[in-house]
Amino acid sequence: MYERAWVKLLVDRLCEPRCFIQIVVGPRQTGKSTGVNQALSYIDAPRIDFAFDRPRDRRARKLEEIWESAREVAAREGEVILSLDEVQKVPDWSSTVKFLWDEDTRTQQNVKVVVTGSSTLTLRRGMSESLKGRYELIHSTQWTYDECREAFGCELDEYLYFGGYPGAVRLRADESRWSSYVHDAIIEPTLTQDILEMETVRKPALLRALFEVGAAYSAQEISYRKLLGQLDDRGNTDTIAHYLDLLSHAGLMSGIKKYDEKVLKQRSSSPRLLVHDTSLMVVASGEGRSRLLEDKDRRGHLVESAIGAHLLARSAREKFTVNWWRDGSSEVDFVVTQGRKRTAIEVKSGRIKSLKGLGEFVQRFPGTYALVIGSDEFPVEDFLLGKVPLFQ
């Protein structure tokens, strides 16, 4: 079974003296539970696993009982690893975990804790509310082209079309079955269970419509006014911006902001919508493989979405910011910044595109590193394989 890079990271952290709760976050169907099990199989320590899948187990008292069992093992064996899956389904889970973890710290109980869950939104809210300073994050994003190539033998066009959900990629020989899986096992549960059941969403139909329209427009700028028109004016810009944040945290789609050194202007700009995986764009568009890959414009948006999704996944791990830029007719596909380092990226993907915007951006913001992805020097495939340095 293929092993992702973050598995070794989790092993290394769990082999250290007890210090932080390890929380594995990421979208549905990216292999979080599988990766945790792989990591724990390398560690010669007793373990207790529990998944809060059954409704009758979704209570704080059950969490306390499982934790107490782990304490008994730690007292007997010297340490124990407690793996909690779907813990976000327990009401006020983070307060309970905080209390138990702090109690173990005071009494020097050697209970090491790993937390996973399908709802990144709920996990993040709990972390921000109760667990500050007590955890480290491990990101399980959609799979990269390098991983899909190594694990499933995917070629570039297959990755562009079928994306990076491992369960779905296995079904690529049957396109209809693959499409149904992406819709039924990823999109629907994320919208209905991870967002609508866990968050206060006053207009669920608007949220759903926003995703469907936004995914089809992936890698394109769309003003809030135009977006509202596409959605039949069923909301306002603040509502749309909030729903985009929910979709982003759930790992479906983000609205990346226009680059501006003034933060307030950056926040008020129209977003460029970007799916976190190209399979979401393909399923939302409803267009066939040949049409998306052979039409220059459609392939261009698909490639730009793949580059953007790759950048978003890396930004979560490497802590850099992803924006885009336009001034009049001059435009740059992506601007990534990390501290004082800044890189402007233009994607050449078969469509005729001018590099005027890239030149103007570099002139306006001295010290910018420029990349043209899809050029002879930096092929799309090399960039998606991680062979092109992002910063200079």
pLDDT tens digits, one per residue of 246-278: 999 899 999 999 998 775 455 556 788 999 999
**Of 139, 159, 176, which residue is a domain's last?**
139
Q: Can you spell out the DSSP letters for 57-105?
A: G-SHHHHHHHHHHHHHHHHHHS-EEEEEESGGGSTTHHHHHHHHHHHHH
Does one domain contain both 184 and 323?
yes
* Strand duo 21-25 + 111-116: pairing: parallel
The encoded tokens of residue 130 equal 């109760």
Within a domain: residue 38? yes
Does one domain contain both 338 and 322?
yes
**Of 92, 112, 139, which residue is a domain's last?**
139
Does one domain contain both 195 and 293?
yes
Of the chain, the percentage scoring pLDDT greater than 70 comes to: 93
Could you tell me the pTM of the whole model?
Answer: 0.90
Region 48-67 average pLDDT: 95
- pLDDT value at residue 237: 76
- How do the residues of the chain divide into helix, strand and coil, expressed in percent and rounded to 5? 50, 15, 30
Q: Is the pLDDT of residue 352 over 70?
A: no
Q: What type of residue sits at position 333?
A: D
- pLDDT value at residue 224: 66
How many helices (H) and strands (E) would you count in the chain?
19, 12
Does one domain contain both 132 and 179?
no
Q: Classify 302 in phi/psi space as left (phi over 0), alpha (psi -120 to 50) or beta.
A: alpha
Does one domain contain both 270 and 288?
yes
Within a domain: residue 390? no
The encoded tokens of residue 313 equal 């996944």
Does one domain contain both 96 and 194?
no
Segment 319-346, tens digit of pLDDT: 999 999 999 889 999 999 999 999 999 9
pLDDT level of residue 366 (50, 70, 90 thresholds): very high
Does one domain contain both 215 and 335?
yes
User: Helix, strand, or coil here: 328?
Assistant: coil
Domain that holds residue 96: 5-139
Within a domain: residue 346? yes
Distance CA 77, CA 72 (A): 9
Which long-range contacts (C-beta less than 8 Å, at least 24 apart) are formed by 157-161? Answer: 157/293, 159/278, 159/306, 159/384, 160/278, 160/293, 160/299, 160/302, 160/303, 160/306, 161/278, 161/279, 161/282, 161/289, 161/292, 161/293, 161/302
Does one domain contain both 195 and 241?
yes
Does one domain contain both 176 and 89?
no
Does one domain contain both 298 and 343?
yes
Q: Where is average pLDDT lowest: 6-10, 119-123, 207-211, 290-294? A: 119-123
- Count of structural domains within the chain: 2
Segment 63-113, tens digit of pLDDT: 999 999 999 999 999 999 999 999 988 988 999 999 999 999 999 999 999
Does one domain contain both 229 and 312?
yes
**Of 139, 170, 198, which residue is a domain's last?**
139
Within a domain: residue 328? yes
